[in-house]
Structure 1
Amino acid sequence: MIADDLDLQIIDLLTSNAQLTNKEIADRVGSTEITVANRIRDMEARNILRVVAQRDVKTLGLDLIALLDIYVSQRSPEEVAEELSLIEEAASVSVLLSDPDIFLQLNVRDHQHLLEVIETKVAAVKGISHWAANLSLEIIKLDLRYGTLGARN
């Protein structure tokens, strides 16, 4: 069993407010504080749940989101993606089933910073045959409730 009804209730409450105490959660789900604490600890250990602080890219001065389609040759996409994931500005690196081979999200300050990251960091990764960039004008929806908790950071 991955997660039962109590686990899902705890997840829903923490998703809506990650600052709830175990006692507050227990009161709302009709359980004990100890049970809630144990459930949270167990879900974290099984990579079902992770409570994290989230940074706002805009307040950090990262006003530009670039979405790069990366095409790979003479190296495996997994190897290239692993190397791209080491770039500090890389918010997300995904290996894809078809073209492009990799999807890379960069959070950068401005156009100059984007150019610098592409020229000095992305271009330095061996195996990239070519890439195409898209610039995000506006984020309409960004659902951060889901992610791969076992992902390498």
Structure 2
Amino acid sequence: MRKRQKERGFFLLETIVLAGMLVVMTSGLLLYRQGLHLNEQARFEAAAVSLAESELAYVQYYAVAKQENFAVGSSTRSEHVPFSTNPADGGADFTLSEEIERLEQETGLTDKNAASAYLATVRVSWQDWRLRERSVTLQRVICP
């Protein structure tokens, strides 16, 4: 006479607890991934602002040093910016656009005596991890 062994499986409560643990672990991984993307975005924005500020400082220096050769116009170029001296930190490719235009001033002075004022606009753009174009635009009034 054989005793019948009872087949056993998981209880419903055990299955629900396991599903809850999987949901919590997956949520934690998604939050970690989002944090990495936000960190990367902050690094790109900081590098773009730094690049735009240095370009505006160069334009202002050039305007003061080369007053007679300073001219209105626009230009665009690409530039690779490393994030640090460590090559493992990587870098990014930015597109730098600058536009210089003369501001019209209403004064009673003649053109020879009137001070020239220019508006320099620098736009730095890049693609984020979703391949969307992001940009930072800075402006400065320059009086050489």
Task: Give the TM-score, by structure 2 length.
Answer: 0.24
- Structure whose residues are more often helix by fraction: 2
- Structure whose residues are more often strand by fraction: 2
Higher alpha-carbon Rg? 2
Task: Give the TM-score, by structure 1 length.
Answer: 0.23
